[in-house]
Amino acid sequence: MLKKLRLQFIVVNAVIIIVLFTLLAAASWFYLQERIIDRTAHIAEKVMCDRDAGVMRPPPPPGKGDPFWFPLPAHNAEPMLPPFFVVPVDPAGGIQDYTHMNRFSQGAVDELTARVLAAPAEQGQFQIGDRHYYYARMVRQSAPGEMVFVLDMERDRAMMLEFIGILLLAGVVCLLLSILGSIFLGNRAIQPICKAWQQQKNFLADASHELRTPLTVIGTNLEIVLDNHRETVASQVNWLRNIQEETAHMSSLVDGLLFLARTDANQEVLELRPFCLRQAVASTVGALMPAALSKGVQLSLKIDEGKLPYCGDERLLRQVVGILLDNAIRHTPKGGAVIVSVSKQENKMLICVADNGEGIKAESLPHIFNRFYQGDEAHANGKAGLGLAIAKSIVERHGGTIRAASAPAVETRFYVDLPIEQ
Per-residue model confidence as pLDDT tens digits over 82-105: 688 899 999 888 888 887 777 788
Calculate mean pLDDT across residues 167-176: 81
Lowest model confidence (mean pLDDT) among 212-221, 372-381, 411-420: 372-381
Report pLDDT for 414: 94
Calculate mean pLDDT across residues 208-216: 72
Report pLDDT for 59: 56
- Residue 317, pLDDT > 50, answer yes
**pLDDT band with cut points at 50, 70 and 90 for residue 136:** very high
**Helix pair angle (237-264, 154-227), 10° resolution:** 170
- Residue 288, pLDDT > 50, answer yes
Largest CA distance in the chain: 131
Report pLDDT for 35: 86
- Residue 69, pLDDT > 90, answer no
- Residue 350, pLDDT > 80, answer yes
Pairing of strands 337-345, 298-303: parallel
DSSP string, 287-312: HHHHHHHHHT-EEEEEE-SS--EEEE
Report pLDDT for 2: 64
172-198, pLDDT tens digit by residue? 887 788 778 777 776 776 777 777 666
Report pLDDT for 74: 43
Lowest model confidence (mean pLDDT) among 5-9, 215-219, 360-364, 385-389: 5-9
401-412, pLDDT tens digit by residue? 999 998 887 889
- Residue 377, pLDDT > 70, answer no
**Does residue 306 contact residue 269 with C-beta atoms inside 8 Å?**
no
Report pLDDT for 305: 73
CA angle 316, 256, 291 (to 5 degrees): 70
- Residue 72, pLDDT > 80, answer no
pTM given for the model = 0.52
Torsion sign across C-alpha atoms 98, 101, 103, 106? negative
- Residue 393, pLDDT > 70, answer yes
What letter does residue 66 receive in the DSSP assignment? -
- Helix (H), strand (E) at residue 214: helix 154-227
**pLDDT band with cut points at 50, 70 and 90 for residue 376:** low
- Separation CA 54–CA 59 (nearest Å): 14
- Residue 66, pLDDT > 50, answer no
CA angle 30, 31, 36 (to 5 degrees): 95
Long-range contacts of 1-7 (CB under 8 A, 24+ apart): 2/190, 2/193, 2/194, 2/197, 5/190, 5/193, 6/186, 6/187, 6/189, 6/190
CA angle 406, 410, 413 (to 5 degrees): 35
- Separation CA 221–CA 236 (nearest Å): 10
Lowest model confidence (mean pLDDT) among 1-5, 32-36, 158-162: 1-5
Size of the chain, expressed as the number of residues it contains: 422
DSSP string, 359-399: ---TTTGGGTTSTT---HHHHHTT--S-HHHHHHHHHHHTT
Please, what is the average pLDDT of the chain? 81
Torsion sign across C-alpha atoms 191, 193, 194, 200? positive
Highest mean pLDDT out of 16-25, 70-79, 294-303: 294-303
